[in-house]
Structure 1
Amino acid sequence: MIDLGFIHAFVASLSVIIVSELGDKTFFIAAIMAMRHSRLTVFTGAILALALMTILSAVLGYATTLIPRWFTFYASSAMFAIFGLKMLREGYSMRDDEGQEEYEEVSADLRKKEEEAEKEGRSAGDQEIGVVRTKRHNPFEAFFSRIFIQSFTLTFLAEWGDRSQISTIILAARDEVIGVICGGVLGHALCTGLAVLGGRFIAQRISIRTVTLVGGIVFIIFALSALFIDPDD
């Protein structure tokens, strides 16, 4: 027998993550880092951070099931409607070059972090005795490469408090949590993979305005679905 609850949660989570993450800060982080470093390393660090954030958010949303089911179901649906209307309003007022500005801002931030990391990694010379002292190696950095750690950390911090994280919490409060996690992780993997493979070409040609408008419609659709679904199903 087909588990409709799982399918609905999976499709809802997958759709919401895709329209939330395309052209988002985490998307640009992966795209820019992949142009300078190993694509596999960048993708691995980013997707592990996003998967961890998805699981944590879903568990947090699931914890609200201690509250009466009907309340969390309709409250979360109302929040989806608010999110959708907010995205439509933002998309309507956006300029067509909004994505380019976001890309350049993230690129400048990453460039600054790269320069700081290079300065910290340089050896310090002792001019008085002519001995070159190298920086001690961190056992953690010896196991994981610096690029992996940077990709994981930057992605995790950028995702914290982001719209996709809040959406995951809301979805897990009203839908089947396993379906939310599976759909969310797959959505993140698709978006991050696209960013890593497409790099600058995709990042600079994504219309943030169009994605935001489509995202608003998707959020409203899932909010309206509450009118046709029994909260106890």
Structure 2
Amino acid sequence: MEALLASTFTVAIAEIGDKTQLLALILAARFKNKTAIILGILLSTLANHFAAAWVGQWAINWISPEMATYIVAFSFFAIALWVLVPDKVDAEESRFYQMGPFIATFILFFLAEMGDKTQVATVVLAAKYDALPLVVLGTTLGMMIANVPVVIAGHFSAEKLPMKWIHRGCAALFALLGVATLLY
């Protein structure tokens, strides 16, 4: 249960102001079918985060438990610093928009998550907890918690949120996860 809650909370917080959340806002403004967008986010995140969690669990089997603790803690500290650099959405990928809201969302979200801090967090969480299904479920729930309200209220802009403070709070949470990893 700790893996599920930690994964959900970590990714929900890390996703605020992330490029995929900004992408959700763009997609919501572009397409009227919010259900297709939400379903695209859900399935894309499940696929992406399953692969990331699998890599995390695979990699952790090749190193000693002590070294794994240091690597996971260092990763949390690195993500804490990374969160302080705000994301921006790349130029619109209009060729995908022709495929409709579900396919466009699925492809664009999958690509945007590649190497993103929430994907890296998923790898690290899977390495920390030996519970792949719970980590994937938790990180996916975290993504949905952060992105579904943006899709539903597509006119709401992320610029209205105190992003500087949100990023600092998120960085502090990742740093605390790093410290907790070293202590426990």
Could you say which TM-score interval applies, normalised by the shorter chain? 0.7 to 0.9
Task: Give the C-alpha shift of residue 202 in structure 1.
Answer: 4.1
Aligned match for 1:47, one of 37, 42, 50? 42
* Whole-angstrom distance in 2 between the partners of 1:162 and 1:227: 24
- Once the two structures are superposed, the pairs formed by residues 72-221 of structure 1 within 5 Å of their partners are 72-88=68-84, 90=85, 102=88, 109-110=91-92, 113=94, 146-176=100-130, 177-221=132-176
The structural deviation recorded for 1:189 is: 1.2
Structure 2 residue runs without a partner (length 5+): none
Q: Structure 1 residues 117, 202: closer, same or farther in 2, change over 3 A?
A: closer
User: Alpha-carbon deviation of 1:86?
Assistant: 4.5
* Contact 2:50–2:136, Cα closer than 8 Å, also in 1: yes
169-178 or 201-210, which moves further after superposition? 201-210
* Corresponding residue for residue 15 of structure 1: 9
TM-score (norm 1): 0.70
TM-score, scaled to structure 2: 0.87
**Runs of 5+ in structure 1 lacking a partner?**
1-6, 91-97, 119-144
Rg (Cα) greater in structure: 1
1:65: how far off?
2.7
User: Which has the larger displacement, 149-158 or 175-184?
Assistant: 175-184
CA RMSD of aligned residues (A): 2.2
Q: How far has the Cα of 1:117 moved from its partner?
A: 5.8
